[in-house]
Structures are given as structure tokens and as C-alpha cells.
Structure 1
Amino acid sequence: MTPQVRYGAGMIEGLPSDVDMPGEMLLAGYFVAVPERLAVSGLPRTQRLASASDCLIDRFPNDGCWFGTAQEALAACLPLQLPVEARLYALLVPSEHVGGFVADIRAAGTDEPVLLAHLDGPGAGEAAREVAEDGHKLGWEVLGYDYGLLHTWLCNGLYEEGRLHLGVDTDERGLLPDRQAALRVAAWANARGDTKPVTWFPGALIEWDTPIESGLGPVTTVTPAPPARQPWWGRIL
């Protein structure tokens, strides 16, 4: 039986409302991952790196695995023995930056039914209205799609140069503080010729604090209630 998600009645918090945000935020998809400890030269030193990329953290059931709903993501984890740190995440992308992401997916010819359905399908944009409640925005990152893998700017040798030339830095999760910082990094990375051949784009990362149910033990869950007030996507415009 597919599990349902228990997350209470709070809305997604912290999405920026004090910056220019044309268009809307589109849900790329859900994934399950374990925050990673980083202590590598040239990368931010952190105990809890979070990323939608496939480069620096462990994702479950495997790298590159996207889910269309939170319920599907949690159901896929039921047979697994997940670390207690595993969490559910969602990636949101500003609509005006979706084009390059989708173009790279189509150029690669890889199988990405979830990403394409959410970002370029007939109902693109609708899925974002169904994001489960009680998630909170961790921060922003800069990503690029390359033949089945989603890369982060951090693993392309850009972190130290970005700090030096752009004056940007990451937080304790390895994430940028706001959309404007992510936009600057993405534009700067796209203007270079020494990164992976991808279209870099900004994305907001959402996390749910609830531990993931897995083979370690059962958890009784209920379906989240629909939003009862102005939706979060209306508050970021």
C-alpha cells in the first residue's frame, strides 16, 4: 500500500517575497537524500550539505531518481534501510529559467518523465500547487543538467572563484542565501567556457524535517490537508 504523507497544516515557509520574481515557481520534482559532510579543498566546509544534484550527496533509491509526488518518493523508500538523516526534498525552478533546463534534457535524450512532465508537460506549473505542506525553504543553488546527471556549481571548481569575484558565499548547508545571489552565479557560470557544457539555472530547495519511513520501522501517516489561505506561490510574486 502506498503510504500517505503526514506533514501537518503549515505552508511552505521562507520563499523570498522581497525580490523581483517574474513568472512563477515550477516544481521540478521530489527526491530523497541524506545531507553530506564536506571537508574538501575548494568546496564549502559543512556538516549538512543539501543539494538537488547527483554529485555530492547520496540520493535514494539511487542517483538521478525523481518522483512526481511526495507519496511516490516515500513509497519507494519503504523497503530500504535509510540513514536516520534521510529527508524528503523538492526542487523549485523559476519559470523563466526552465527553458535551458528542459532543452538540455531533450538534447541529452535521457528518460526524465517526472522532470519533463512538471516543467514542460501539458500541466506544467499545476504540480507546484500540490507541493506538500510543512516544507521550508533551505536556500538556493545553481544547477545544470548533463546527460542524466544534475550537476551543481560547487563541483565545477567555481566556489572559490565565485566568493572572490562575485562576493557570494554559501551557508551551513552549502546553499546560496537568495535568488539574486543564485542568478548572479548562474549568469557568471554560463558566461564561462571552462565548466560542464550545461545551462546553469537557479533553483530553490525545499526540505521536510520529518524522518523518512523505511525498513527501520513503520510510521502511521495521513494525507496533508489542502491550503486554507493564500498559496505560497502567490506570496513570492
Structure 2
Amino acid sequence: MTTSLKPDDTPTKSAPRRMPLWAKVLTAVVVVLVVMFAGIRLSLLPGLRDFFGTETHDRTGPALLESIQDMSRYDAASGNFQVVVDLEKDAKFLPDAIRGTRTLYVGAGTVDAYVDLGKVGEKDVTVDADRTSATIRLPHALLGTPALDVDRSYAVSKQRGLFDRLGDLFSDNPGGEQAVQKLAVKHISDAAEESELTTRAEANTTDMLKGLLRSLGFEEVKVTFGT
């Protein structure tokens, strides 16, 4: 005896259940944490880190000389400076563990003080008839551009929130230190302005010129600074 299915008795397939939104977010967070902890484990296991390590190849072409400039300044003094930069960035309405960074950075650099001898004209040099006495007027010493020594500068600590760590995963320069380096250069420049570096440069320039002219036979040499 055969049975027939009525229209109402036709078997139907149940629709697949969709994953709730909160479950998707939780899954994504778990995946990110797994990746982060995996990175920590690799750093703790030198063998695995070397196995998955990368090799660096320098294929840079030769540097091209673009221009040459004649220098007329006398670098008379150089100051070595060091500053500890404490840079903190907070996000409104979010705790630091979620969004925010704080970096402690030790910046070391140098600033040169120089006298521009190219600005000395004929009217700034006076020599007596016997060529035994000379008076030279020079422009005041100036400070050069601060130079950060990357070999002596380093980050002491870096603290980043969860969102900032996630952003580093998609960044071309994760954990970049450009901001703290710029602050270090600024503080070094300010310290050089408040120092006696230009005074030392003018004194050294005076000693240099007196020694040079006396070796040429001048008995009295006077050096002044000003416009």
C-alpha cells in the first residue's frame, strides 16, 4: 500500500541559524588575543623565532651627489645634551587600557655653535701701517640645527591600549618613535638656547684668530663681536 504526501506534509529544510552580532565580535576579539599571545610565545622561544624569522637584504643603489656648498662658518663649540621625554596621549571617555599611549624616551643629541666668517667684509678688518696691530669685528655666534644621535637614543618603555595595539597590526611603521624624537630635538634645542654655548664659541673663535694672526707677526690682536 502506497501513501501519498499531502501538500501540507511536504518535508522542508530548516533555515541555517545566523551567528549573533555579539558572538562575531567576541570571536574576533578571541582571534586577536590568540595572535597577540602567539607573538609573545614566539618572542619567548628563540628557536621558534629564528625558524620563522626574516632575512634582510640591502639592495639600495649608490647615493647620488646632488650639490656641493662651500662652507664659510667656523664651528667653534659643540654641546652634548640628553633629555628624557615622557609623552602621553589619552582618548576622551576611554580608559588607557583601551585607547591611549605613553612612551618614555631618552634622547641624546648635539648642537654646534659657529661663527659665520663669510659675513666679514673689508670694513670689518683694520690693520695699522706697521702691520703689528689688527682689529677684527665678527658677527655673533649662532646655534646650528640640533642633531639627534639615534645610536645613543632609545625608548625606555612603551604602553599602548588595546586599540593602539590593533592599529599597529595594520601599520607600516608599528611603534613609530617620530613624535618622541621630534620632542627630544625640540627640548635639546631649547636647552642649547639657554646654555652658554654661543659664548664659548665666541671665546674659542677669539683664541683661534689671535693665535693665527700672532703667528703671522701681529703683536696686538683685538676681536669684537656685533653687527
Which has more strand, going by share of residues?
A: 2
The structure having more radius of gyration, on CA atoms, is 2
Which has more helix, going by share of residues?
A: 2
TM-score norm. by structure 2 comes to: 0.17
TM-score norm. by structure 1 comes to: 0.17
